[in-house]
């Protein structure tokens, strides 16, 4: 397997990062995970746009253009041929003597390599998952896709301890998102998800689902909901690049839709698959 490290294509095991890389010491970096289907990246330009937006929000310059990153990705997919996988891109602020102050005139460390798909994905998509409600202990800039993920790691662990596959997070009883996904409910035919503000990551899959809903005239609102509304919903699902549309059939021991994936959830799942099909296969 290969990787890009600062523009050079090398064997993955040969990649070395300095101990004073700020990504390593401060989590001072940003990243993207992009799905590959049929050997082609899905929604690549949306992901690269978000990478550059994240960079801007943390006063960081990415040492390559979008075009250069795109070319790198395509070269990597050419040497590491895979039908289905995920592209991981990370840009850290770079190497500098340890100090909190943002250093000037250093160049970011850029890595790109491929991740394997999640083994359980198809099963989870078909049967639905169990989720655990957890307090959102993260910071107030969840709109930045940063590699500082300790908060996300700790809430995911809480869910795993409760035999759940995802943590659904709330701030003072208002549901924000999942530890690595966006959360949606359906009540009386209305689709609802948290607005894209500082409390959630504006998911690319979320964006796809909103566009599909608009096009299909499925009524939706970008409006937060409470934990009680979540538990009383007709359907619950999560979205992410790796999980696509995955039904949530149980939340903290409460069965949703009698423990079965809901109708609208399945419809959106299928419509997203169709979109992937049209962008990556035809």
The residue ranges that bind ligand PLP (CB under 6 A) are 33, 152, 177, 180-182, 201, 203-206, 239-241
Q: What minimum distance in Å lies between the beta carbon of 89 and ligand PLP?
A: 13
Q: What minimum distance in Å lies between the beta carbon of 142 and ligand PLP?
A: 6
Nearer to ligand PLP, 213 or 240 (CB): 240
Nearer to ligand PLP, 95 or 177 (CB): 177
Q: How far apart are CA 194 and CA 222, in angstroms?
A: 5
Nearer to ligand PLP, 165 or 205 (CB): 205
Structure token pair of residue 148: 């500082």
Q: 60-68 — which CB contacts under 8 Å span 24+ positions?
A: 60/30, 60/91, 60/93, 60/108, 61/108, 62/91, 62/108, 62/110, 63/6, 63/107, 63/108, 63/110, 64/7, 64/110, 68/7
Q: Of 14, 145, 207, 266, which residue is the catalytic one?
A: 145
Q: What minimum distance in Å lies between the beta carbon of 246 and ligand PLP?
A: 11
Nearer to ligand PLP, 92 or 239 (CB): 239
Q: What minimum distance in Å lies between the beta carbon of 172 and ligand PLP?
A: 19
Nearer to ligand PLP, 245 or 264 (CB): 245
Q: What minimum distance in Å lies between the beta carbon of 261 and ligand PLP?
A: 19
Among all residues, whose Cβ is closest to ligand PLP? Answer: 203
Q: How far apart are CA 155 and CA 205, in angstroms?
A: 21
Class of residue 16 by CB neighbours under 10 A (exposed 0-12, middle 13-18, buried 19+): exposed
145 classed as catalytic = yes
Q: What minimum distance in Å lies between the beta carbon of 96 and ligand PLP?
A: 27
Nearer to ligand PLP, 158 or 260 (CB): 158
Residues designated catalytic: 145
């Amino acid at each position: 397997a290969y990787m890009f490290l600062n523009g050079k294509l090398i064997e993955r095991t040969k990649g070395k990062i300095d101990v004073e890389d700020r990504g390593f010491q401060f989590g001072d970096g940003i990243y993207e995970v992009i799905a590959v289907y049929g050997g082609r990246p899905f929604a690549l330009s949306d992901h690269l746009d978000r990478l550059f937006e994240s960079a801007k929000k943390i006063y960081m310059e990415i040492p390559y253009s979008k075009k250069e990153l795109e070319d790198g990705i395509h070269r990597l997919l050419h040497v590491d041929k895979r039908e289905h996988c995920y592209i991981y891109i990370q840009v850290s602020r770079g190497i500098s003597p340890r100090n909190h102050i943002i250093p000037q005139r250093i160049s970011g460390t850029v890595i790109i390599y491929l991740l394997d798909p999640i083994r359980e994905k198809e099963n989870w998509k078909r049967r639905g998952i169990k989720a655990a409600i957890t307090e959102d202990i993260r910071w107030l800039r969840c709109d930045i896709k940063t590699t500082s993920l300790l908060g996300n790691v700790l809430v995911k662990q809480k869910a795993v301890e409760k035999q759940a596959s995802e943590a659904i997070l709330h701030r003072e009883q208002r549901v924000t998102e999942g530890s690595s996904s966006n959360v949606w409910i359906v009540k009386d035919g209305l689709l609802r998800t948290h607005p894209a503000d500082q409390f959630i990551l504006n998911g690319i899959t979320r964006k796809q689902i909103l566009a599909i809903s608009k096009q299909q005239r499925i009524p939706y609102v970008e409006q937060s909901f409470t934990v009680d509304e979540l538990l009383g919903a007709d359907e619950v699902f999560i979205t992410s690049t790796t999980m696509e549309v995955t039904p949530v059939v149980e939340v903290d021991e409460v069965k949703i839709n009698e423990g079965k994936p809901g109708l609208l959830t399945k419809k959106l799942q299928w419509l997203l698959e169709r979109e992937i099909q049209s962008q990556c296969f035809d």
